[in-house]
Amino acid sequence: MKKYNVGIVGIGLVGAEMLKVLSQRKFPAKSVRVFATRERIEKIDGKKYKVEVAGDNSFCGLDVVLFAGTEGARGASQKFGWKAVESGAFVIDNGDDYRMDSRVALVVPEVNPEDLSKEKKFIANPNCSTIQMVVALAPLHRAAGIKRIVVSTYQSVSGTGRAAVEELSVQTQDIIKNKIPKINVYPHRIAFNVFPHISSLTDEFRGYYKEEIKMIKETRKIFNSPDMRISATCVRVPVYSGHAESINVQFEKKISAVDAREILSSSPGIKVLDEPEKNIYPTPIDVAGKDEVFVGRIREDSSSENTLDLWVVADNIRKGAALNAVQIAEVLIEKQYI
């Protein structure tokens, strides 16, 4: 089997998970080089990795480079992404800098692998919340045609990064000890609290935060449906890992809950947990470390025709970032683009 030289830029939560995923899936890597802003040794999943300082000439000889920036973390792909492409590598970028760029394919392998090509060597991972939503909705869209989506998310702190995970822990301990918790990462206390605020406001869609706009625009691009009607409300919750979504979706044609359950159960990358009478439905704790997107609470909306309600949960660091990027690389190999 042919083997490939792989680079990973960034060694935070997502970069570390990328290394785990490459190893766990036995990716055919001849070598794996890790780049960051300073040289050091990092121990990930029991293995030691030498971290090199990234530079303009770091990517020569690499076949694929995974940029591991967390949501909103700017800089690395802007500085080095196109230089890596010029060096001959395929770039798969987890950041949000180029997702809507016409030069860049925005890909979820279970949904739109046909958007990959030999020519477009810069590829973007969608937003973590977008990924799990489109994985769940794509099979239903193919069956009945989506007319409108209304989604509310419940997003864990790991989507912000290690500092947010630490802040939730520290605040929780402080509150238990009757101390006043310090607020550093978020605009409000996250422990024992929720707030409908992820990223920043923008004039593009007045009143919407950028995370919500990403879900709208990215879903339209992935589904190649620029006029698809979508509304999103993104909420940060005091959960360490795993994003959940409540999705109300209207279709062009009638689709029953029974039909949806059958379609989703036979679709790649999806696991249905839907026995509410037995308290069986997915939760963030259930999906931690899992590859699939989990779907439950599948039911017909009694207030609107041709409309279903779904509850969708996935590990945001794994399927919402690291795994999706590695799966893209696997498809590139399968299609013999690399």
CATH code for the part of the protein at 4-125+321-334: 3.40.50.720
pLDDT of residue 1: 85
Reduced to 3 states (helix: H, G, I; strand: E, B; else coil), residue 282 is coil
Domain spans of the chain? 4-125+321-334, 130-316
Residues annotated as catalytic are: 128, 243
The CATH homologous superfamily of the domain defined by 130-316: Dihydrodipicolinate Reductase; domain 2 (3.30.360.10)
**pTM (predicted TM-score):** 0.95
Report the C-alpha gap between 149 and 308 in whole angstroms: 10
C-alpha–C-alpha distance, residues 44 and 24, integer Å:
12
Instruction: Identify the pLDDT of residue 27.
Output: 98
Query: Hey, what are 250's tokens?
Result: 């209207």
Angle at 327 between CA 325 and CA 328, to 5 degrees: 65
Query: Which residues neighbour 16 within 8 Å (Cβ) at sequence distance 6 or greater?
Result: 42, 44, 45
Query: What pLDDT is stored for residue 72 in this prediction?
Result: 45
User: If the chain, 338 residues long, is cut into consecutive pieces of 10 residues, what is the mean pLDDT of each piece?
Assistant: 95 94 97 93 91 93 90 72 96 95 97 97 97 98 98 97 96 98 97 97 93 98 98 98 98 98 98 98 97 98 98 98 98 97
Burial of 240 (0-12, 13-18, 19+ CB in 10 A): middle
pLDDT of residue 71: 47
- Using CA atoms, how far apart are residues 56 and 264, in angstroms rounded to an integer? 44
